[in-house]
Structure 1
């Protein structure tokens, strides 16, 4: 991508993502993803209505007047975006490629995080961990993430969620909030997700294209697997072929959904053919 074109794309995504984060998602994000708990802030004089369980008896005895401890939420989080950069992301038949939708959603989440004073980091993955951007704060950091999302070329085109999930479990020592943004077309990752979710607060954002859900009846066509490079001519007028594919897709979707449920992971599905904003709002509200 040419430098001028890249700058324009980064700026366009920044304007959209910042606007959505500031005006729509800031409050939703804050409510949905809480901090690590509460921490002691200060001691002040007791006021009518204060919880008597918070009385500081040592200070009260010293000044012969009731004082209470005041606590505040430890708001700051470390947020990790686990972003699928495998070959299947370069697919789209409607408004955008899956990779483009992933990039915009990642930008919205990143700006929402920094508006809440959270650190944001990124893991690009295929069937392995491709690249790590360490958690930091600030606009420059977010713009770097967006540039990487637009320009990054993975070494592998395949997908396997087990490797990034193991890395999340073993290498990210402190508890974090992790968003997995992927189409989740991957070998079984049930156990890896369950182990990772015991340590971290994980949310799954499944990105799919409507054309992936069913094969249309359009005659003889050549299909290609973007991850393996395998190509084949198929007769889409075959009702058996279309039925078998639909069954495969439905089984895969149900299996993925059950994997999330068993691991206690909240999830949302986002279509490339629809506006992702309503889906994200519903997702934040249900957490």
Structure 2
């Protein structure tokens, strides 16, 4: 079985990942003097010894730290104002992006592997525009490749090239001899190479959260900030009533009667369990969780996710 090379959404090209730079302005992943990102907590929750610089003064908003109120401006304007600070630039941002066989699937706009590559490219371009250092690790079933964090377009393009090559290497027939827990090994490698204070952006299959991976994420969160973006497809969450379904992989075969209501209910419950596990982990570690689905366009769902994280003004 051969995959149509020119069919959109199945594979991604380097040119498409480069073009993601044009969408950075649509998603406030990082704060600028003119725009405050809802993810600002990633830069200010734990400074880990890094310096901060005064940025600007603006009207106090619900959720702002009262310790940063500028009392002189408040007294002069008769309206509460708060000081904003930003950390030193050139923060290492490390993107862990999965391109394994289990992501080579999709029933909606694109395959999960394509969504992961696009999201990684968008984060990388946004970080470079924020003057941070960009690096990452692209892992598949049998191998992984690293790019050391650097503040250069060449480093970013190197990472995008690795993403595109790994994505285009995915085929319908899986390659033998895959590593059992490639995600856990990738996280362990990140712990070995990253310095404290780095921001780690994790893009992986929603089903990748094994016991070992959860332990590695917990250890990684002790010295770095995390942003979790698990990926899923609508068929990961609900099995359609489509009659007898036959699945084959190598010499193995599986048949499921999708008209069986109990089977579909258990399938939904397993998906809910996976979602809840990610939610519990994010809550325990105190890190943002932005689940992504192949059902929706990337920029639109990130905008919606970030909007939900933004503190609401008091009535």
Q: Normalized against structure 2, the TM-score is what?
A: 0.70
Residues in 1 aligned to 2:52 and 2:304: alpha-carbon distance in whole angstroms: 30
Secondary structure at the aligned position of 1:267 is classed as coil
Q: Retained in 1: the 8 A contact 2:100–2:113?
A: no
Residue pair 1:34, 1:75 contacting (<8 A) in 2 also: no
C-alpha displacement of 1:108: 0.7
CA contact (8 A) 1:123 1:129 kept: no
Q: Residues 74 and 193 of structure 1: is their aligned pair in 2 closer, same or farther, counting only changes over 3 Å?
A: same
Higher helix share: 1
Q: Does the CA contact (< 8 Å) of 1:89 and 1:97 recur in 2?
A: yes
Task: Specify whether residues 157 and 150 from structure 1 end up closer, same or farther in structure 2 by C-alpha distance, changes over 3 A only.
Answer: farther
CA displacement 1:229-272 (0-9 Å, x = unmatched) = 85412111111211111111111221222122212221111110
Pick from 23, 28, 38 the counterpart of residue 25 of structure 1: 28
Match of 1:233 among 255, 261, 271: 255
2:135 touches 2:155 (CA, 8 Å); kept in 1?
no
Q: Please state how far the C-alpha of 1:107 moved relative to its aligned partner.
A: 0.7
Matched, 1:191 2:215: yes
Query: Aligned to 2:138, what secondary structure does the other structure show?
Result: strand
Which residue of 2 is the match for residue 9 of structure 1? 13
The equivalent residue for 2:232 is: 208
For residue 283 of structure 1, report the CA deviation from its aligned partner. 4.2
1:185 deviates by: 1.1
Distance 1:22 1:115 in 2: 10
Alignment correspondent of 2:277 = 255
1:191-244 CA-partner distances (Å, limit 9, x unpaired): 22111101100010011111111111111111257xx98541211111121111
Preserved contact between residue 129 and residue 164 of structure 1 (Cα < 8 Å): no
Q: 2: distance between equivalents of 1:170 and 1:192?
A: 11
Q: Tell me the alpha carbon deviations over residues 128-185 of structure 1, each in whole angstroms, 9 at most, x when there is no partner.
A: 8622111123333322222211212487365453222222223313321000001231
Q: CA RMSD in A?
A: 3.2
Aligned length: 253
Paired residues of 2:199 and 2:225 also in contact (CA < 8 A): yes
Within 1, Cα distance between the matches of 2:86 and 2:108?
Answer: 46
Change (3 A) 1:229 1:263: farther
Q: Secondary structure in 2 aligned to 1:76?
A: coil
CA shift at 1:40, angstroms? 8.2
Secondary structure of 2:291's match? strand
The reply to whether residue 245 of structure 1 matches residue 246 of structure 2 is no
Change (3 A) 1:26 1:173: closer
Structure 2 equivalent of residue 100 of structure 1: 114
Q: Which residue of 2 aligns with 1:45?
A: none
Residues 38-83 of structure 1 deviation map (CA, whole Å, 9 limit, x = unaligned): 2689xxxxxxx69xxxxxxxxxxxxxxxxxxxx9741221000011
- Could you tell me which residue of structure 2 aligns to residue 278 of structure 1? 300
- Is residue 2:81 matched to residue 1:79? no
Question: C-alpha separation between the residues in 1 aligned to 2:108 and 2:86?
Answer: 46
Task: Tell me how far apart the structure 1 counterparts of residues 21 and 251 of structure 2 sit (CA, whole Å).
Answer: 37
Instruction: Establish whether residue 220 from structure 1 lines up as the match of residue 231 from structure 2.
Output: no
Aligned with 2:51 (options 27, 33, 38): 38
2:137 maps to which residue?
123
Alignment correspondent of 2:290 = 268
Structure 2 equivalent of residue 109 of structure 1: 123
Whole-angstrom CA distance in 2 between matches of 1:151 and 1:229: 28
